[in-house]
Structure 1
Amino acid sequence: HGLCVVDGHDKAFILSQLEARLRKIAPDEAIVLHEAMFHDNHGLATKELDSLWGDIQEVYYEANACSNLFKDENAWVEVVRSVLRLAGMRTLSKDLELNSVQSQSIEPQYLPTLPSSPTSLSKKADLALVISLPRHCDSTINQWRKLNPGVGLSHMSDAYTRETLLTCPLEVKRQGGDYNEAVCQLAVWSAAALEKLRILATMGRDTETLEGFPYPGWTVVGHEWQLHISWKEDSGKVVIKVIFQIEAMASGRLQVMGS
């Protein structure tokens, strides 16, 4: 159920067997569900569908409770965790983890600055998708580690997180929270990640491949999820662009800080 079935420009990612149930449990929200979003290509037995629906209901009621009872950001972070588990995050890769990075600091040398101020900006994300490979396995990453002992793979100062590949940050705000603050935090975090990747690239032979390298990240403000892509321009400036907004389908381009 984590697959996307593509037919022309239509992308179906919801099981058609769940359509009636979704429209019944949340009729107002289901108005935005177009028929092209549903597909029959799943191969799940009735028992498996019922189990999946039970998981969906749990997430729905959890998110509704957060919204209706005005719960704080930490409660919404748990909703995000539940959504990603339901989406089958672990089926993408056994080495993919969802880690809390709320209390972790960015290494200061990777932090961006504003053009008008030499002072580094320091913002934190809430969650991050990371790839963590055991040191005993035979992989390109571990071969690189052997050639570069003591060099961390990420821009974070935490002993564990600095040894992982951070593939996607998520910045979470409660329902009614400030989106501008969320995207600013995401932008700073992503700019630091891109600077770290640039430095790692200079240690190898792939520097040119990082020009315009897309770095994904999500802001989640209550029920509204927005996908952003950040990249570093030739001038050193980092740009972040809204690619997809689940509720309102908006896009825009916001130039942010340069390292």
Structure 2
Amino acid sequence: MAGRRQPSPEKRQRVEEGIMPGESASIFSGHPLDLGQHNTFSPLGSHVGSRWGSRPGTGASSPRRGISPSRETIATLKDALPPIQTEPFDGAQLPVNRAIRDKVMAAMERLEPGRVDGWVPRCLQEAIISDNALGVQTFDRHAFIDSPRNLSECDLPLREELQYTLKKVKQIYQRARTCKTRGRDENAWCQVVIQPLVELALELAGNGKLLLQSVQTQAIEPGYLSTDSKTGRRLDQKADFTLSYSHEASDLAALYARLPPRNSAVSHVSDAFTKTTALFSGIEAKPADGDKSEAEYQISIWMGASLLKKAELARMAGLSDITSALIEPAFVVVGHEWYFYLVYLQPTGAVHVLEHGSCSTNSVSGVFKILRVLRNVVEYGLEGFEGGLEAKVGYWGGFLGPVLEKLAAGEERATGNVSAATPGDEVTWIGSTAASHVTI
């Protein structure tokens, strides 16, 4: 954890080849909980200075201090092959390619936390305020969803759902508060805050199609990693969690079963099970005193490799023309704070990671808001699923579903690692140690 803390015994220390010392390897209208249609590297928080400090009075270099991992990784990622640029959404230059640009804007409009209005059912306000165990609780003026004023006015099924949700939210908030006040480590934040909160969102909106999966010990296949343009070193990091399309859902299980052996690897990791599982989004966690820039570095690598793999699958299926819909959300969690990102591929094959918005578990209202954002993300990842191949909408219906169906039907072109582009665009073919540009 940026060299500040001893690793928890439950979590394997992330030490990867070539990593610098100090780096971590690491919903319907009328229902109070329904969702509407309606985040890069931060200022440095590293305590490490530059590797070559000046000797007093000489100006000469001295190896007493180490390069800040944040500084090095920002520059290294941006200049890597293929490049990964992480930056705030405001001020970013989006592609001239209209199809990609419009879809990125639409996804941000739909998913980023700042666009959410109404995330706490009004009928729960009194129950929250009057609960002495919660202490003082405040609410943003846009926090409340129109609903009956009192829980007693709700019909029984709705009342039971709301009471269940409030009980879970209250527990998550209290555990997050304890993690902060008692200085608990990353494992604790993962186990008692992040995991229960994401699983609650999946329970309320996922229909069993998406599952939360821990991937903190799983390696990325080397072919999908960017390389340092100066040294050729693979920039390898891990994330903590991802969402996976479940092998337990009968329709998804049938799709997986139809994939021939040569096309069974549908994710960017080398784990025997996970590589046969379609993945979506990613979460990297740090404790309250953790380094956000380090976490952004990790999630950027994870998401970049994931998108490059999916672009390869699209090319194999002969569907490179639909990769404008290959846009995924991701999260960095540092203690209470949840930062939202949107990740997509530039026509050149570069990975673009955009931060826009944040939420916090430091209040009950904040937990409800993150729950709302997570449910939006889950719905986005499943959109078009129920419509079958004819749907052609959303992330699943407009991209991932058709790609996997084509591969399952044996409809594929020549294999090879390639990032996505539309015909005529410059794309980046990923080799074992470097990348070269070609036009297709």
TM range (shorter): 0.7 to 0.9
Please list, as runs of the form range in 1=range in 2, the aligned pairs for 1:1-259 lying within 5 A after superposition.
2-5=33-36, 11-23=117-129, 25=134, 27=136, 30-31=138-139, 33-40=140-147, 44-78=157-191, 79-89=193-203, 91-133=205-247, 137=251, 141-142=255-256, 145-146=259-260, 149=262, 151-211=264-324, 213-247=326-360
TM-score where L is the length of structure 1: 0.82
Alpha-carbon distance in 1 for matches of 2:196, 2:33: 14
Contact 1:128 1:167 in 2 (8 A): yes
Q: Deviations over 1:175-217 (max 9, x none)?
A: 1211111111000001100111121112112112224721211
Contact 1:174 1:222 in 2 (8 A): yes
Q: Which stretch shifts more, 187-196 or 207-216?
A: 207-216
SS at match of 1:217: strand
Alpha-carbon distance in 2 for matches of 1:11, 1:136: 35
TM-aligned CA deviation for residue 36 of structure 1: 4.8
Aligned to 1:255: none
Change (3 A) 1:157 1:6: closer
Contact 1:212 1:232 in 2 (8 A): no
Change (3 A) 1:176 1:97: same
Alpha-carbon distance in 1 for matches of 2:221, 2:144: 42
Alpha-carbon distance in 2 for matches of 1:133, 1:203: 23
TM-aligned CA deviation for residue 113 of structure 1: 2.2
Change (3 A) 1:15 1:143: same
SS at match of 1:216: strand
TM-score where L is the length of structure 2: 0.50
Aligned to 2:381: none
Question: Partner letter of residue 246 of structure 1?
Answer: C
| Structure 1 runs not aligned, ≥5 long | 249-257
TM-aligned CA deviation for residue 23 of structure 1: 4.5
TM-aligned CA deviation for residue 239 of structure 1: 1.0
Contact 2:118 2:144 in 1 (8 A): yes
Contact 2:246 2:252 in 1 (8 A): no
SS at match of 1:11: coil
Change (3 A) 1:52 1:10: closer
Question: Partner letter of residue 123 of structure 2?
Answer: Q
Question: Partner letter of residue 142 of structure 1?
Answer: Y
Contact 1:16 1:38 in 2 (8 A): yes
| Structure 2 runs not aligned, ≥5 long | 1-31, 39-114, 149-153, 361-365, 367-427, 431-440
SS at match of 2:190: helix
Q: Deviations over 1:81-124 (max 9, x none)?
A: 11122224464231311111011100111111244442111110
Alpha-carbon distance in 2 for matches of 1:88, 1:19: 24
Larger Cα-atom Rg: 2
Q: Deviations over 1:204-248 (max 9, x none)?
A: 121122247212111111111111111111222111001321249
SS at match of 2:244: strand
SS at match of 1:71: coil
SS at match of 1:205: coil
Change (3 A) 1:135 1:74: closer
Alpha-carbon distance in 2 for matches of 1:174, 1:139: 36
Alpha-carbon distance in 2 for matches of 1:89, 1:174: 25
Percent sequence identity over aligned pairs = 26
SS at match of 1:35: coil
Contact 1:71 1:174 in 2 (8 A): yes
* CA RMSD, 1 decimal: 2.9
Alpha-carbon distance in 2 for matches of 1:232, 1:117: 24
Change (3 A) 1:6 1:123: closer
Aligned to 1:254: none
Change (3 A) 1:26 1:83: farther
Alpha-carbon distance in 2 for matches of 1:50, 1:134: 28
Aligned to 2:106: none
Give the length in aligned residue pairs.
246
